[in-house]
Structure 1
Amino acid sequence: MIEIISATALSTVQDHGRSGSLRYGVGTAGAMDRLALAAGNLMLGNDEDAACLEIPVFPFQARFLEDCDFALTGADCTANLDGRALSPWWASRARAGQTLSLALPKSGSRAYLALGGGIDVPMVLGSRSTQLRGAFGGLDGRALRQTDRLPAVQAIANRALDFGIEPPSLALPRMIDGMVALRVIPASEYAAFSAQSQAAFWASAWKVTPQSDRYGFRLAGDPLVPMQPIETRSHGIVPGVIQVPHGGQPIIQMRDAQPSGGYPKFGSVIEADLWRLGQTPIGSRVRFIETSYEEALDALADNRRYLDEVQRLVGLRGLEHA
């Protein structure tokens, strides 16, 4: 069990999110960086989608109220346990009374704290993820507050823990001119935009504005202009869809996006790259790469191979300490 010490903002309990409920108007929620969440869980021997703590605002502090295995993944924060420095993407064991502190990230924007067995909060519609818009899931359907306590399913496992893994930013690099590159499949209204706007979308850098959050990332750049006004009925959307409102500045739907919307769909960031966007800090710039459905499936397979390698390495460590 851990207790939140810092007056943190917007930290929530998340797993991989809800599936199968979009038809009822319930969004997916879930971790903005599923790869970091899954890797942290694998390091502890948890199920890949066990509930973890997603931390988007720093500094952050939590106290362990019992001996507990934990792993830190995601953003490269300066972290320490009672003053002992911790490397990024590291699994360790805390003793009761010790305090974990995370400072501002050197890279990335969201840290993930996994606990032994996962965080033990009620399951709602097949997931423990916090859905802020609907105020359910996680801990009372809200962001965490100072003095909140979160229990671990199985705090301690019968094996030694003090190791790290290679982060996906190094194992699966994808950059253009020093900027995060996101692969995008053109969507249904793409052809309705001018050739100039289409070309600018792929060739330009797009700034992530301060209006970005778990619901959507709002970008700033040369406006995307349709050849004539587009009016559509509200229709189903999912995380990754790039919509273009009347001002021409695109919005990328993220994990807390509502399940329907009426703005034209220019494209969709592929599922395999959403973790990259989830770790992109406010104010930085991203680039887009046109891709195909088949290439998107290949990218998912690359992510799967990364996680399989993490699981293999964790298994080897288990054999070493058996």
Structure 2
Amino acid sequence: MSSSVSARLVRLLNMVPYLKANPRITYAEAAADLGVTRKQLQQDLDQLWMCGLPGYGPGDLIDFEFSGDTINVTFSAGMDEPLRLTSPEATGLLMALRALADVPGVVDPEAARSAIAKIESAAGAVHPTGAVAAEPERAPAESEAAAAVREAVRSGHAVRLEYYSASRDTLSERIVDPIRVVLVGDHSYLEAWSREAEGVRLFRFDRIVDASVLDEASAPPEPALQGSTDTSLFDSDPALPAATLRISPEAAWTLEYYPMRVLRELPDGHFEAAMTYASDEWMARLVLGFGAEVTVVEPAELAERVRRAAHAALGAYAEAG
């Protein structure tokens, strides 16, 4: 979890007790006390408005009254009292944290292990049955590159990245100014100002081959720091070609691994999915690697390229045999 995400989580947890203790406080006063801009305060309130107790209906969610320029908590959902986890709740939380810690790049392993240790200590490491929990296995160590990126974010330093671009099948080196670590889907990304592209870019942790923290301070432009994370980068780029693929049930895992959009599920269990790509050569190699489990429906030019490459490969095998 990035330092910015951690700071916001702590602020959100403290915000309801703070507002309860300061009824009808103004936006300006609350923003100043909490050390945030009015825009960020409004975003935090919008987030809290969607939080609450199981049921998540009227009377379950945190509620506010906004009168003029003041804020007043009308229902706290218990967030103004110390949190007390039941044994089943603590066990469920521990299981979720251990699962996250086992996925490289999703969270900071050290932070996850620290949270696990604290919960186990508070709960006495007891299962709902009353049995003492077994000593958990240590989560796999984070890669040196990922650890360096997190250190650069924490210390506010620029970082030199060696990055693998899956869509272009190339390695590139660039210097970036880190902004924050964000979680999108099941992957952690470094959001940073790319000096080469002169814009904000997202770099997926498991595609950062190497990272070196530089002596110079990170200095992204102020608008980049204040702006919210732009996840439109994950949408299809209309400037890139798109392929329609027919995917067998055995290869359905590719729908989660690659940036695809499912168009429809066919009666025989196959899927049709759309995928954008930057290089015909790279896309043809990708499809060939799946054999008969993934085929190109369109464009026809790509399908013909795959067909020719497959015939050439079969011919080479025949000659070798």
Is the structural similarity TM-score above 0.5? no
TM-score by length of 2: 0.23
Give the structure, 1 or 2, with the largest relative contact order (CA under 8 Å, sep 6 or more): 1
- Higher-Rg member (1/2): 2
TM-score by length of 1: 0.23
